[in-house]
Structure 1
Amino acid sequence: MGAAADFSEDGDTLRFTGDLSLATIGDLPQRLRARGDGEGARHLDLSAIDRIDTVGAWVVHRFAHEHNATIEGLDPEHVRLLEHVERSDQLVAMRPRHVSPFTRVLGEIGTATITAGTTLLGLLGFLGAIVIALGNVIRHPRRFRFNATVQRFEVVGVTALGIIGLMSFLIGIVIAQQGAVQLRQFGAEVYTINLIGRITLRELGVLMTAIMVAGRSGSAFAAQLGTMKLTEEIDAMRTIGVSPMEALVLPRTIAAIVLMPLLGFYSSIVAMIGGGLLCWINLGIPPVTYIARLREVVPITDLYVGLVKAPVFGAIIALAGCFQGMQVEGDAEQVGNRTTAAVVQAIFLVIVLDAFFAVFFTSMGWN
């Protein structure tokens, strides 16, 4: 039976009949609004209804509230339902909890510290997993993914030669130009060659290459592994008995470690070529003199320092990229977040380690 509403003869009572439920209420709210606007009702009689749900109780409650009417004739169960609806009809004031700026900043620092510590522990654990995978490959050489490693060599090294060469060439020009401007004040333009040779071989060649590889290859590692994790390809590899560490992580790590010294040396040479070109054009130092001066003032230890740092930087970049990629879970947004985190962590750790190496080699007398 459909819901219906009628006034009694004296016009003082509105009597409901039928089912006051979502399925049968029909246009009752509109009819109540039209009749209620015309004349009021002091009493709502619900004794004749067969059934009422939350929607019906809400309609009755709102009509009674708007017209200051009393509700009569409900059985105890329906009374409880109407009381719940009445309690829910309250304005909720959402006031943010006041937190002092000092407490908020302190909380953010604490959260960042916990996140950094957790990430560091995760990186150490992931490094251990890589070492175990390398040990397994050494014990079982047939499990080494030669083709995958060679393909990573091409992606990390060969395709990066152009952008790294251009960056290093321009950096060499900038170092030479700025160095010459400052040294000209003391009549010591010739020492620009010392500045170019030592800073590129010892520091900037390897450091700028590491930053470039972190942004280029480290992000690619995180995005590739993150996408594979999201599409459950890595879980499928585990299901068929293939170790993701040996098949995916180890080739990328080996490629970064092996190619970083080569890329760093290549970057240093190109930077010195750029600096020599500017010295030739701006200072009038011919290439033969430039090369002879480089051989005199740049010790071989500067080359050794760069070659020692490079594979460590490569390992850090591969470690951060692969670790963040393997942490992806949930949705596609995680891929972007983890890729960003991989680049930031790799660059941060590279700079920290570079500072450590600078102090260490200085204490060893390799100045």
Structure 2
Amino acid sequence: MTVPSDFVEEMTEDGVTVLRFSGDLSIAAIGDLPERLRDYGEHVQRLDLSDIDYVDTVGAWLIYRTAREVDAEIVGMDNEAERLIAAVSSVAEPAGVRPDPPNPIVRVLDEVGEATMIALTTLAGLIGFFGSVMISAASLVRHPGRIRWNAVIQRFDVVGVKALGIIGLMSFLIGLVIAQQGAVQLRQFGAEVFTVNLVGRLTLRELGVLMTAIMVAGRSGSAFAAQIGTMRLTEEIDAMRTIGVSPVEALVLPRFLAAVFMLPLLGFYASIVAIIGGGLLSWVELDIPPATFFARIREVVPITDVYVGLVKAPVFGAIIAICGCYQGMQVKGNAEEVGKRTTAAVVQAIFLVIVLDAFFAVFFTWIGWA
């Protein structure tokens, strides 16, 4: 039977005011005890629980809160009461709804430092991964029987043949835009004929290969990361290692070879389609016949512009394949990681392609291929 909780006020011989509790300090028997305790102020120095029959968490919290408010000492606790009061006291501190805002300068420096460390770590990882791919390629050169030709041809089809449509459409529209914008600006100086120079040199030297690389990075680089990342999650790559198959040879090298060999072809194809688009607009808007347009292209575009595009393309392809496969190999934990690594692969590939394109521009100007 539950005994209602109660207390009496006593004065000890040394003048200490004591509240002596009795009955059950439980939620069922506590009654109006909290309201009555609020009438006692700081003149209470001690709470005596020696006559308590039972205490639960609610009773322990009431005793702890009262002792904290009036700065009183709790005495006469049995083991259970002591355990409960210690438990409620450990969680009594108010929890912040949100953390205190950090110093803005410290936060910015922290984010910059973290981003720098991630960038350096990723760069080191990409270089190391590229080294492992080169070692595997050298091993396959010594043992050509281990080359998986079916996988290589399939990657050629996915990276190259199936991308012809979207890259052709993109390049055609880019050629139209270059010719249209160039004609608008050059018309102010009566130099519309130089639109042919603009279209020919810009597409063969820069935009044809660069836009193709960006498109391949978004289309194939993301697919590389997602495919290999999913295989990491399903432990297929671990299974390949278990049976003695190198994941780099089976998964990475076919994709690497496809990107390196197909990007020059796609880049040259994109440049030709862009020139056709520019020639079509020149015919319609500038009255330059196709025969005249292409004859002018042969006159004003040096062969070095073609060489520049063909030299850059395989490097861009290697960057795209390395970024996609490396990020796929880093997937671990859950499916969300696949999305993060796929995004990282595309961003890193496009960033490195643009950086290398700027380097090539300076380098080829320095050697006289301007």
Task: Establish whether TM, by shorter chain, passes 0.5.
Answer: yes
- Deviation by residue 1:104-134 (Cα, 9 ceiling, x = unmatched): 2222222211111111110100000000111
1:229 to 232, 256, 264: 232
In the TM superposition, residue 88 of structure 1 has moved relative to its aligned partner by 3.6
In the TM superposition, residue 269 of structure 1 has moved relative to its aligned partner by 0.5
1:264 aligns with 2:267: yes
In the TM superposition, residue 36 of structure 1 has moved relative to its aligned partner by 3.6
TM-score normalised per structure 2:
0.86
Instruction: Name the residue aligned to 1:340.
Output: 343
CA contact (8 A) 1:219 1:342 kept: yes
In the TM superposition, residue 75 of structure 1 has moved relative to its aligned partner by 3.2
CA distance in 1, matches of 2:37, 2:285: 97
CA distance in 1, matches of 2:316, 2:324: 12
**Structure 2: which amino acid aligns with 1:238?**
R
Change in Cα spacing, 1:308 to 1:8, as seen in structure 2 (3 Å) is: closer
**Equivalent residues in 2 for 1:1-367, closer than 5 Å:** 4-7=2-5, 15-16=22-23, 28-32=26-30, 34-36=31-33, 45=49, 47=51, 49=53, 57-58=60-61, 61=64, 73-75=76-78, 78-79=81-82, 81-83=84-86, 85-86=88-89, 88-92=91-95, 96=99, 99-367=102-370
**Structure 1: which amino acid aligns with 2:140?**
V
CA contact (8 A) 1:6 1:14 kept: no
CA distance in 1, matches of 2:363, 2:356: 10
- Deviation by residue 1:209-244 (Cα, 9 ceiling, x = unmatched): 000000110011111111111111111111111110
In the TM superposition, residue 53 of structure 1 has moved relative to its aligned partner by 7.2
Instruction: Name the residue aligned to 2:43.
Output: none
- Deviation by residue 1:275-322 (Cα, 9 ceiling, x = unmatched): 000000001111111111111111111111101110000000000010
Change in Cα spacing, 1:208 to 1:69, as seen in structure 2 (3 Å) is: same
CA contact (8 A) 1:309 1:357 kept: yes
Q: Tell me whether 5-14 or 297-306 shows the greater mean CA deviation.
A: 5-14
Mark the runs of 5 or more structure 2 residues left unpaired by the alignment: 10-18, 41-46
CA distance in 1, matches of 2:8, 2:207: 97
CA distance in 2, matches of 1:6, 1:147: 84
When the two chains are superposed, the root-mean-square deviation of aligned CA atoms in Å is 3.0
CA distance in 2, matches of 1:366, 1:341: 34
In the TM superposition, residue 333 of structure 1 has moved relative to its aligned partner by 1.4
Q: Tell me whether 107-116 or 301-310 shows the greater mean CA deviation.
A: 107-116
In the TM superposition, residue 37 of structure 1 has moved relative to its aligned partner by 7.0
CA distance in 1, matches of 2:127, 2:7: 85
Instruction: Name the residue aligned to 1:24.
Output: none
SS at structure 2 position matched to 1:274? helix
In the TM superposition, residue 90 of structure 1 has moved relative to its aligned partner by 3.1
Number of residue-to-residue matches in the alignment: 354
Change in Cα spacing, 1:108 to 1:71, as seen in structure 2 (3 Å) is: closer
TM-score normalised per structure 1:
0.86
Identical positions, percent: 64
